[in-house]
Chain A
Amino acid sequence: MEMRFSRIDPLAKTILIAAAISVMTYKGTLTYALYVYVFSLVLIPLSRLSLLRLLKIYLAFSPFIVGLSWFNAYIALITATSNPIEVGFMVAARILSLINFSVYFSFTTDPDDLVLSLIHNAKIPYQYAYALSIAYLILVKLLNYYVEVLHSLKGRLAIKWDFEALKLMIPLTASMLAYVSSYVDALSASMEARGFGLSDRSYWRIVKFSRLDTTISALALIAAAMVMLW
């Protein structure tokens, strides 16, 4: 049976990813960070994403991957609580796993289905479901904007290669925050003008959980619980 990741309900995907991230965070070792990273890699063919494309995404995020790993290793070196090299690699594996999961999710999930699934299947109040969906929407927009910023910095000859953005982390982060702030302002005005938040909201379509979604969610939760208790 061909099981395509895009057919799975967004809520089931969220549970699966949350279970993997919980294991990685709870165990807090390099070994488990690598296990979860390998698991996230296994999902690549299911999401029909080419390795080359994934590598390009890694390259674009290299300032974060290298910068944050180095920063954490440096902190570990100062506090001498653990092996700084191991800490550096663990942080890198965690960031790579998060990138993988984010990319799979965004490549295979329709944000509209995510909202409706959260409302109808998880019974989350619609205001919160939309808040989550919009956070996801912002993340996708931010990814595109990040690429735009890199192009713009190359255009003004501030950098030649993507990884050089590391030296411009502060203005780059400021630019992204400014973008999110203006985007959220415009979006919230528009949503308010269109009556978001009124009581007695209705829905013109419903998204339902399938048997496959239930099985995947249950297996993910059981597996995560077993690993964490073990």
Chain B
Amino acid sequence: MLLRLEKLLEAKLEVKGEELLLEVCSGEVIGLYGPLGSGKSSILRCLAGLASYKGSISLLGKELRSYRRIELVKLVGFISESPSTQFVANRVGDEVAFTLENLGLRPDEIRLKVSEALKIVGLEGFERRKIDELSWGQRHRVALASIFVAKPKVLLVDDLFVYLDPPTRRVFSEVLRKYADEGAGVIVASGRREFLKFVDRVVELKPMKHEFVAKAKVLSSITPCELKASSLCFGYEKDQLVLKDVSLSLSPGEILAVMGKNGSGKTTLGKLLTKVLKPRAGFVRLSEAKAKLAYISQNPDSQFIGKTPIEDVKASLRRGFEERLALDILSSLGIGDFAHEKVYGLDIGVKKLSLIASILALSPSIAVIDEPTSGLDDFYVDRLSSVIKELSKSGMALAILTHDLHFAKIANRAIVLRDGVVSFEGSPYEVEERLF
């Protein structure tokens, strides 16, 4: 047995006071499943020696605390939920070499190991490439290589899969499986059961609740509006086009899933549809000139105006409206209890719903929701689907920008973006990974 965890009583954990037994053997991939806030990340941080704990964690038969840090770095690898935030370097080679430099290896030895690690993740010869110039999938592979390079006996992967598009997720699953087959133990944390299909065993931290039914309160003044986008063309750099020729339409009450892998231009298209960005060519037309368009960012922190959810909703309602109405909107999304909490301290699920409440207060005819499920667990995904369906019933047209094949099934229609154009249009049930 590689790793054994029992009676973990770290102060911050929800599992406080309970007996948690987790064993990982050589060649095993274990899934750690639990809702947001159940302590998945905290447990992984304890296992990586990054957080203090009470109880017992044994690594190769020895208590984890008794290891020196240099030994732990060689034995345990940790990948955070957002690999892009773990990059220390600008170039692939420097990033992958970072751990080995810290361990004091000789330059020629480092060069060899960096090259081997990049080969495992399919990025052979990428040493001098800039990370910023790589695709999202390739960036995630760099993050994986930078951990593989030290060949840890135990690999800990935080809630990362929820941010990956299906092709990258498949590559990651295969690479992790292969790494375990070579004798390592792997623990993958996730709040989504479907992302843990490839593991040998699932340890459930806390049962997931599924009792919520949304009654999204929509203000009566939504103007039904049709959107038509024709031949949209856009690029951030002069000689590089993200979108080459994209046309689509959106009718009142319709849910359209705009799909594609990470970096395919979904967010850019969402900003063009809501007129946050101006296209280089093409146009977006609305059937009602007075119709409001709203864009909901995938990172709610970037969009809050108020200190608390209720203040944020009131900021959208503007003057003349009572606090009661703001509270009603929040309660209709099931987050009335959080109305007076500080927004930045809330978990990502509540943040996303709070932001939807603020957008609802604007009564937009068309709303574009960017990666609605990123960072969410099964409970919040269900809750969000219920909210989106309710909104469409009120006549609001919704475009959801997502790479989540399962979630996209709530849509009436789907398009897939690939190489800057629409490569598929049809039912969301027909969208498969190969279309990405």
Binding site for B on A (CB under 8 A): 110-112, 115, 130, 134, 137, 145, 148-149, 151-158, 168, 171, 174-175, 178-179, 182-183, 186-187, 189-205
Q: Are A195's CB and B91's CB within 8 A?
A: no
Residues from 138 to 190 in B contacting A, C-beta threshold 8 Å:
146-147, 150
Selected A-B contacts with CB under 8 Å, 13 pairs: A148-B299, A151-B295, A152-B302, A156-B294, A186-B80, A186-B85, A190-B80, A194-B102, A198-B103, A202-B106, A204-B94, A204-B110, A204-B111
Residues from 89 to 120 in B contacting A, C-beta threshold 8 Å:
89-91, 93-94, 97-107, 110-111, 114
Main DSSP-derived SS at the A contact region: helix
Docked CA distance A145–B85 (Å): 13
The 5 A-B pairs of least Cβ separation, nearest first, read A155-B295, A190-B86, A195-B102, A195-B73, A193-B78
Write out the residue numbers on chain B whose beta carbons fall within 8 Å of the beta carbon of A203.
101, 107
Docked CA distance A217–B85 (Å): 33
Docked CA distance A217–B36 (Å): 52
Q: Are A194's CB and B94's CB within 8 A?
A: no
- On whether A155 and B303 interact (CB within 8 A), knowing A110-B90, A111-B90, A195-B69, the answer reads yes
Binding site for A on B (CB under 8 A): 45, 48-50, 69-70, 73, 76-78, 80-82, 85-86, 88-91, 93-94, 97-107, 110-111, 114, 146-147, 150, 271, 274, 276-277, 292, 294-297, 299, 301-307, 315-316, 344, 355, 358-359, 362, 364, 368
A210 to chain B, nearest CB (A): 20
Closest to B345 in A: A178
Write out the residue numbers on chain B whose beta carbons fall within 8 Å of the beta carbon of A155.
271, 274, 276, 294-297, 303, 368
Closest to A111 in B: B90
A169 to chain B, nearest CB (A): 11
Docked CA distance A187–B359 (Å): 32
Docked CA distance A203–B111 (Å): 10
- On whether A198 and B73 interact (CB within 8 A), knowing A203-B107, A204-B111, the answer reads yes
A50 to chain B, nearest CB (A): 9
Q: Are B295's CB and A152's CB within 8 A?
A: yes
Q: Are B271's CB and A151's CB within 8 A?
A: yes
Q: Are A112's CB and B316's CB within 8 A?
A: no
Write out the residue numbers on chain B whose beta carbons fall within 8 Å of the beta carbon of A112.
89-91, 94
Q: Are A175's CB and B302's CB within 8 A?
A: yes
Closest to A154 in B: B276
Q: Are B91's CB and A110's CB within 8 A?
A: yes
Q: Are B344's CB and A189's CB within 8 A?
A: no
Q: Are B102's CB and A204's CB within 8 A?
A: no
Closest to B292 in A: A157
- On whether A157 and B294 interact (CB within 8 A), knowing A190-B78, A202-B107, the answer reads yes
Docked CA distance A194–B80 (Å): 12
Write out the residue numbers on chain A whose beta carbons fall within 8 Å of the beta carbon of B50.
189, 192-193
Write out the residue numbers on chain A whose beta carbons fall within 8 Å of the beta carbon of B110.
202, 204
Q: Are B297's CB and A198's CB within 8 A?
A: no
Q: Are B101's CB and A201's CB within 8 A?
A: yes
Write out the residue numbers on chain B whose beta carbons fall within 8 Å of the beta carbon of A186.
80-82, 85-86
A174 to chain B, nearest CB (A): 7
Q: Are B102's CB and A171's CB within 8 A?
A: no
- On whether A201 and B104 interact (CB within 8 A), knowing A110-B90, A158-B305, A193-B78, the answer reads yes
Docked CA distance A193–B358 (Å): 39
